[in-house]
Structure 1
Amino acid sequence: MSNTRIIIEERSRDIGDFLVGRLIPFRKKRMVGPFCFIDHMGPSQIGPKTFMDVGQHPHIGLSTLTYLFEGEIVHRDSTGAVKTIKPGNVGWMTAGKGVVHTERTPKEMRDGNIYPVHGFQIWVALPKDKEDIQPEFSHTEKSELPSWSEKGVEYTLIAGQGYGKKSPVPVYSDLFMIQLISKEKSTISVKGNLKGEIGICVVEGYIEACNDSIENGNMLISKVNDACSFTMGENTRLLLFGGAPFEEERHIEWNFVSSRRDTIEKAKKDWINKDFKMVQGETDYIPLPDSTLQSKKS
């Protein structure tokens, strides 16, 4: 996934136990645990002439997580991985010292019809001692993810650990990402079930917290680690995410994440000089944005 857009942050607000904003990073909170970028994709449509075609672009120092509710994406990367990511499955690509990948609509969905697409593309920063590891890709089927019901709420542990369970997705730090789906109004308490900083993304429906109603499209960040509680509305879908924060600051420029600025500068030069290993069978190339080059000159 490529950070090709400028994120215009909506006004964030403080409602007591939570900070409320659009997506991360936003002004009052740059990261939640190791999570440093969250992009809500859709709900939208592709076809008959408009498709997802994100060409070759690089990453360093992070893992990407792709999770879809609707639609399909073909992932190809420079490790040789080729995989169609379908709803409920988890695509997890670890960039480490450097990887290049593409994301495209499958051929079978380019048949003149219209198809829905909806999901999340997420960046998770790597621990400092893992930033330069070899790149790799893993794909986890929906059936392999821990799922359970509790008080009328359906839970799926997408990645990491929580509620006494562990996802098979090969993460590198203490984190969690969990989907919750309610049919009826339900009170949720995460105390004792999740560790570290906690974010709540309202995908569909609404939640109530601190005498305020927060509708879909917003994100809440708990100001008290490990102990937030809230009420899910009926027919609501949430993503809970977070974990233990890193001690070191993370620098983010374009698609590069690192605890060291010089590593990012080297990655920029390597991409300009086309020194990254590219994706077999792909020929296009997304250049380094002019804004990134200008930031270096200023």
Structure 2
Amino acid sequence: MANNKLIVEERQTDLGNFIVGRLLPFRQKRQVGPFTFIDHMGPSTIGKGNYMDVDQHPHIGLSTLTYLFEGEIEHKDSTGSDQIIYPGDVGFMTAGKGVTHTERTPQNKRNGEEFLMHGYQIWVALPKEMEEMNPRFDYFPSSEIPQHISGHLTIKVVAGNAFGQSAPLQGYSPLFMVDIFAKERTTLNLKGQVKGEIAFVVVKGAILNEDQKVEAGQMLISKTDDECEICLDANSQILLFGGEPLPEERFLLWNFVSHSKDRLQEAKQQWKNKEFPKVPGDRTYIPIPEIKR
């Protein structure tokens, strides 16, 4: 394995009655561009007694990007947004100075029938000057997201600018996120296609790198900004993401992101005091976990 790359193994975490795999951050690399946190949801079978129910919880200083391959999630938040996110859609909630939200299996899917749930939720840190902006929610249906075929590759630009196309979701700093499917074994040339730090999440199949395979449940991070080529195995799907790193270090405390550790402690106390805005009609509350020392 070339020494200009890092391989990250997915770590399993319980999220209510739902299992997620956590890919970022990890010790050697806290962020890739402005991307600071990646949860892999599923693939899991959802059905009677096993629905997704993530109760009301808060965020500050970031945007959450929800992107699904299978299943549905109903997103509600304290701005009043109520949106079902379907496969291929993008939900983008910007927390700014403070927001609360819930994520649940929609009511129409709670009929006892089983279905597959699979997708990613990704946190994008906000620039320092925008960390305290007013919260908002943006939704982009799959039909609005640019997609094209290049040789054996299907390339969908989910966010930012890449491969000569611009997504309707641009974010708040230079970034990119691309969903790529290789029908046959293919070399993906990135020269001039993206700018900034680069990482690859393997959704299915494998990246072939010298004498090793990077497989589903793993992430490959380039230590340089000029990683030009990777080889994708046949029937492989990856998420390519990254961008320009933010100039200041970002700190995480539970669901909060900030350049300021003091601001994280303030948000923690605000949540304990139940001072955050609330999702209309929702009385649920996830207490902040106490860190055992």
Is the TM value for this pair above 0.5? yes
Q: What's 1:189 paired with?
A: 189
Q: What's 1:4 paired with?
A: none
| TM-score between the two structures when normalised by the length of structure 2 | 0.93
**SS of the counterpart of 1:41?**
strand
Partners of 1:98 and 1:211 in 2: how far apart? 46
Partners of 2:170 and 2:234 in 1: how far apart? 33
Partners of 2:32 and 2:167 in 1: how far apart? 19
- CA shift, 1:72, in A, is 0.1
**SS of the counterpart of 1:42?**
strand
Q: What's 1:21 paired with?
A: 8
Q: What's 1:98 paired with?
A: 98
Partners of 2:226 and 2:97 in 1: how far apart? 32
| TM-score between the two structures when normalised by the length of structure 1 | 0.92
* Bigger mean CA offset, 111-120 vs 227-236: 227-236
The alignment's C-alpha RMSD in Å is: 1.1
CA contact (8 A) 1:19 1:223 kept: yes
CA contact (8 A) 1:209 1:229 kept: no
Partners of 1:197 and 1:21 in 2: how far apart? 16
CA contact (8 A) 2:161 2:170 kept: no
- 1:244-274 CA distances to partner (integer Å, 9 max, x unpaired)? 0011110001000000011111101110000
What residue identity is the alignment partner of 1:17?
N
Q: What's 1:243 paired with?
A: 243
**SS of the counterpart of 1:290?**
coil
- 1:225-260 CA distances to partner (integer Å, 9 max, x unpaired)? 033311000000000000000111100010000000
- CA shift, 1:170, in A, is 4.3
CA contact (8 A) 1:181 1:238 kept: yes
Moved over 4 A (4+): none
* Matching of residues 9-158 of structure 1 within 5 Å: 15-22=2-9, 23-158=23-158
Q: What's 1:159 paired with?
A: 159
Partners of 1:235 and 1:140 in 2: how far apart? 26
CA contact (8 A) 2:179 2:237 kept: yes
- Percent identity, aligned pairs only? 51
- CA shift, 1:211, in A, is 2.9
Unmatched 5+ stretches in structure 2? 10-22
**SS of the counterpart of 2:268?**
helix
Q: What's 1:179 paired with?
A: 179
Query: Which one has a larger percent strand, Structure 1 or Structure 2?
Result: 2
Unmatched 5+ stretches in structure 1? 1-13
CA contact (8 A) 1:78 1:277 kept: yes
CA contact (8 A) 1:71 1:116 kept: yes
Partners of 1:162 and 1:92 in 2: how far apart? 19
- 1:9-63 CA distances to partner (integer Å, 9 max, x unpaired)? xxxxx64231111211122111100000001111111111111000000000000
Partners of 1:85 and 1:19 in 2: how far apart? 32
- CA shift, 1:191, in A, is 1.2
Partners of 1:47 and 1:264 in 2: how far apart? 37
What residue identity is the alignment partner of 2:34?
P
What residue identity is the alignment partner of 1:91?
G
CA contact (8 A) 2:74 2:84 kept: yes
CA contact (8 A) 1:194 1:226 kept: no
- 1:160-202 CA distances to partner (integer Å, 9 max, x unpaired)? 1111211111410100000000110000111111000000001
Partners of 1:130 and 1:62 in 2: how far apart? 9
What residue identity is the alignment partner of 2:133?
I
Partners of 1:276 and 1:270 in 2: how far apart? 6
CA contact (8 A) 2:160 2:169 kept: yes
* Bigger mean CA offset, 21-30 vs 247-256: 21-30
Q: What's 1:5 paired with?
A: none
CA contact (8 A) 2:145 2:157 kept: yes
Partners of 1:214 and 1:263 in 2: how far apart? 38
Partners of 1:54 and 1:138 in 2: how far apart? 20
What residue identity is the alignment partner of 2:177?
M
